[in-house]
């Protein structure tokens, strides 16, 4: 064993359980090389091995439980959380998890002003939705073939930008960011507007940028998938029954 961990992590207040052996198998414990370490992540580390930072999975599990309980609370209250993960390798995973969970998502590019200038973004979303409706109703059939092709291209571009958040009617209550370095703009906008940030924090990231952080590997697909599966389970169980 690389680290000394509990065989199972479970709190009296939580029905959520985490098994560190499974976390290790998914690679949550593996950080970046020690030369890339952020000073504020050090409290969550066990040490280094062959120059690679190793997370203390007891602490990761503790923070993950805290974060999952928070997500459970806000979802049960009917609040809206947007999942943000725009790294190319994560786009499919983000979209799949968000659709299965029924939450909004951004998986292509964070458009500046999505939070800080939402009224303008909402106008673009409304325009996008309007174009979709016109296409589906056949209203665009009166245009020439070239004009219809231009509309199709525009709709595809708008889908990439706003497809995951076209159901938003106001700014989200919470954002969940998978890579705070890649999507720092989203984090900054949320903090400007006082919107809580939930995030993964790898060893090269400042964990204090998030209100609730999960100190873990944010690069490996298996690691992110493991975490998102736990988040999805919590969301599905916490959603108010219709």
Q: Is residue 11 assigned to a domain?
A: no
Q: What is the DSSP letter of 241?
A: P
Distance in angstroms (rounded) separating the CA atoms of residues 21 and 6: 9
Share of the chain above pLDDT 70, in %: 93
Q: Is the pLDDT of residue 10 over 50?
A: no
Share of the chain above pLDDT 90, in %: 87
**One domain for residues 88 and 194:** yes
Q: Which of 208, 214, 236, 237 has its CA nearest to residue 226?
A: 214
**One domain for residues 150 and 204:** no
Distance in angstroms (rounded) separating the CA atoms of residues 236 and 242: 13
Distance in angstroms (rounded) separating the CA atoms of residues 202 and 213: 10
Instruction: Note the pLDDT of residue 9.
Output: 44
What are the beta bridge partners of residue 176? 83, 198
**One domain for residues 84 and 29:** yes
**One domain for residues 176 and 223:** yes
Read off the CATH number of the domain in which 203 is found.
3.40.50.10490
Structural domain range at position 146: 118-158
Which domain-ending residue is among 158, 180, 214? 158
Distance in angstroms (rounded) separating the CA atoms of residues 45 and 220: 18
Q: Is residue 84 assigned to a domain?
A: yes
Q: Is residue 143 assigned to a domain?
A: yes
**One domain for residues 29 and 99:** yes
pLDDT tens readout for residues 38-94: 999 999 999 989 899 999 999 999 999 999 999 999 999 999 999 999 999 999 999
DSSP E strand stretches across the chain: 30-33, 45-49, 52-55, 81-84, 105-106, 174-177, 197-201, 212-215
Q: Map tokens 């609730």 to a residue.
A: 212
pLDDT tens readout for residues 25-51: 999 999 999 888 999 999 999 998 989
pLDDT tens readout for residues 151-174: 999 999 999 999 999 999 999 999
Q: Give mean pLDDT, residues 204-231.
A: 97
Q: Is residue 3 assigned to a domain?
A: no
Q: Is the pLDDT of residue 176 over 50?
A: yes
Interior/surface letters 173-194, b for 16+ CB within 10 angstroms, e for the rest:
ebbbbbbbbbbebbbbbbeeee
Give whole-number Cα distances, 13 to 63, 65, 82, in Å: 14, 10, 26
pLDDT tens readout for residues 207-216: 999 999 999 9
Domain tally for the chain? 2
pLDDT tens readout for residues 114-138: 999 999 999 999 999 999 999 999 9
Q: Map tokens 């409304």 to a residue.
A: 126
With cut-offs at 50, 70 and 90, classify the pLDDT of residue 4. Answer: very low
């Amino acid at each position: 064993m690389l680290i000394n961990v509990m065989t199972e992590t479970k709190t009296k207040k939580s029905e959520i359980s985490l098994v560190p052996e499974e976390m290790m198998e998914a690679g949550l414990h593996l950080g970046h090389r020690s030369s890339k370490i952020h000073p504020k992540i050090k409290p969550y580390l066990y040490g280094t091995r062959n120059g690679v930072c190793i997370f203390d999975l007891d602490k990761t599990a503790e923070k993950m439980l805290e974060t999952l309980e928070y997500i459970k609370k806000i979802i049960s209250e009917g609040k809206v959380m947007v999942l943000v993960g725009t790294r190319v390798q994560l786009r499919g995973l983000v979209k799949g998890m968000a659709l299965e969970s029924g939450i909004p998502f951004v998986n292509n590019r964070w458009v500046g002003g999505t939070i800080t200038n939402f009224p303008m973004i909402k106008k673009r979303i409304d325009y996008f939705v309007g174009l979709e409706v016109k296409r589906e109703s056949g209203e665009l059939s009166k245009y020439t073939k070239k004009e219809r092709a231009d509309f199709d291209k525009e709709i595809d571009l708008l889908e990439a930008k706003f497809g995951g958040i076209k159901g938003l009617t106001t700014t989200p209550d919470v954002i969940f960011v998978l890579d705070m370095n890649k999507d720092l703009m989203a984090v900054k906008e949320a903090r400007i507007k006082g919107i809580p940030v939930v995030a993964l924090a790898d060893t090269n990231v400042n964990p204090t940028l998030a209100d609730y952080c999960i100190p873990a590997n944010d690069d490996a697909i298996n690691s992110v998938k493991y975490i998102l599966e736990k988040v999805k389970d919590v969301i599905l169980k916490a959603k108010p029954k219709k």
